[in-house]
Chain A
Amino acid sequence: MLQTNLKHVESDEEFEKLIAENENVMICCGRMGPMCLPVYDIMESLQAKFPHVQFRDMDFDGPASHNIKRLPEVRGFMGLPFTIYYKNGQVVQATTSIQTEEQVLGILNRYFARAA
């Protein structure tokens, strides 16, 4: 289990329920490694600003991670973490390796922005 303050996705059932029941979901699939930790921190810091988005992490070596690894969007990814953004159950964006807050915010604002 990842030692973060985010909610974790630890099983197929949790993953399927999360995707099925929420419009906006961001999952960061990684380890407790140097390229992953900053992304978890960014997600934690943005939770209050995006209450309509479900922020989760997932252990790259855990039982639910095949749901991410099998995605066509991550084909060719060779840098942790794999971060996936779901809108109504569909993948709208996927990134590989460390991301800055600006990069994450750019994707959140693009796909998960609330209508003014």
Chain B
Amino acid sequence: MEEQFDVIVLGGGPAGLTAAIYLGRARVKTLVLDTGTVGGQTVLSFSVANYPGVEETSGRDISQTMLRQARQFGAEVKAYAKIKAVELAGENKVVELQDGSRFVARALIVATGGVPRKLGLESEARLAGRGISYCATCDGDFFTGKPIVVIGGGNSALEEALALTKYASRVTIVHEFDHFQAQPWIVEEVRAHPRIELVMEQDILDFVGEENLQEVVVAHKQTKEITRIEADGCFIFIGYVPNSAAFSAELQLNERGEIITDDNMATSLPGVFAAGDVRQKRYRQITTAVADGTVAALGATAYLEERKAA
């Protein structure tokens, strides 16, 4: 079964949904396909306090509002889509699903976001939910009065480390560099906290424990000295990996796998745009994703108009 749209948006996070809102409002026939839960990484934010014009709310609520807006403006949104193949190079952009559905559009926006980066250790996967966590607000209270480790050195890692001091007896931040990448005031707060210890320039070697995590084993990058840190919990915040692998053969990516775009979110292929965390940019916020989605939608609309006029 083949269905024709004007624009297909891959990804239902804030970038994709914003694009759908703008496209729908412009009466551009739009399909949004997401391989998981609509909302993307935003759903994983317990609290969003810095979205302009909105009082503190949850990531889920923002996402659900965006979804309703997109649908109200006529966009079709499908979650848990099982994508089999995507063809970007031709005049028509084609997306095939595993159930045999085939969607065709003149323009396509890649807004597939990213996923939390993992260390890739066997013990990390084995102990996930058994001491290893990626969400301090979800699992922090399991570690009340216990020592924990936080891995990472950016804003997320340091903010979560501070939040975890509410529960933990001791928080050890382990970072791969000799300096942090977080905002200076957060670093200052972390350095001044009496129950936070910093262990810098470390490689993570292993997580030790049978039923639960017991130790995090690290090695100094220069001296190779091994340290075993006793910990009941370990929270990992080491950034995101862009969901761009499926497009690497057709779109120009940078060395981190992010899609390269121009200021109008246009990629290296005509009619293909990228928005949100999947594209090359410095700052990744809900607000920047929303801005990307807006620009991509306007760019795609202009592209369709130009094609129509040609």
Contact = CB atoms under 8 A, between A and B. Distances in A.
Interface residues of A, number: 22
Nearest to A40: B37
Contacts of B142: 78-79
B37 A35 contact: no
A75 B143 CA distance: 15
Interface in A6-42: 31-38, 41-42
A85 B45 CA distance: 27
B207 to A, nearest CB: 13
A101 B80 contact: yes
Given A35-B139, A38-B37, A78 B129 contact: yes
A35 B130 CA distance: 14
In the A-B complex, list the 8 residue pairs whose CB atoms are closest, starting with the nearest: A79-B129, A96-B129, A97-B129, A34-B44, A76-B211, A78-B142, A33-B138, A35-B138
Interface of A: 31-38, 41-42, 45, 75-80, 95-97, 100-101
Contacts, number: 71
Interface string B138-149: 110011000000
Contacts of A38: 36-37, 43
A90 to B, nearest CB: 22
Contact of B130 (A36, A41, A79): A79
Contacts of B60: 32, 34, 37
Most buried by A among B37, B131, B212, B233: B37
Nearest to B213: A78
Nearest to A99: B129
Interface string B239-270: 00000000000000000000000000000000
Summarize A's interface: helix, strand, loop or mixed: loop
Given A41-B37, A79-B129, 18 more contacts: A31-B138, A34-B43, A34-B59, A34-B138, A35-B138, A36-B138, A37-B37, A37-B60, A38-B37, A75-B211, A76-B211, A77-B129, A78-B142, A78-B233, A80-B139, A95-B129, A97-B128, A97-B133
Contacts of A80: 138-139
A32 B79 CA distance: 20
A33 B211 contact: no
A36 B138 CA distance: 8
B137 interface: yes
Nearest to A78: B142
B26 interface: no
Most buried by B among A36, A42, A78, A101: A78
Interface residues of B, number: 28
B130 A77 contact: yes
B37 A42 contact: yes
B49 to A, nearest CB: 15
A105 to B, nearest CB: 10
5 contacts: A32-B58, A78-B129, A79-B128, A79-B133, A96-B130
A35 B43 CA distance: 9
B215 to A, nearest CB: 15
A79 B37 contact: no
Interface in B30-72: 36-37, 43-46, 58-60
Nearest to A46: B80
A78 B133 contact: yes
A36 B130 CA distance: 16
A41 B59 CA distance: 14
Interface in B134-164: 134-135, 137-139, 142-143
A37 B133 contact: no
A24 B211 CA distance: 28
A6 B239 CA distance: 33
Contacts of B233: 78
Contacts of A75: 211
A17 to B, nearest CB: 29
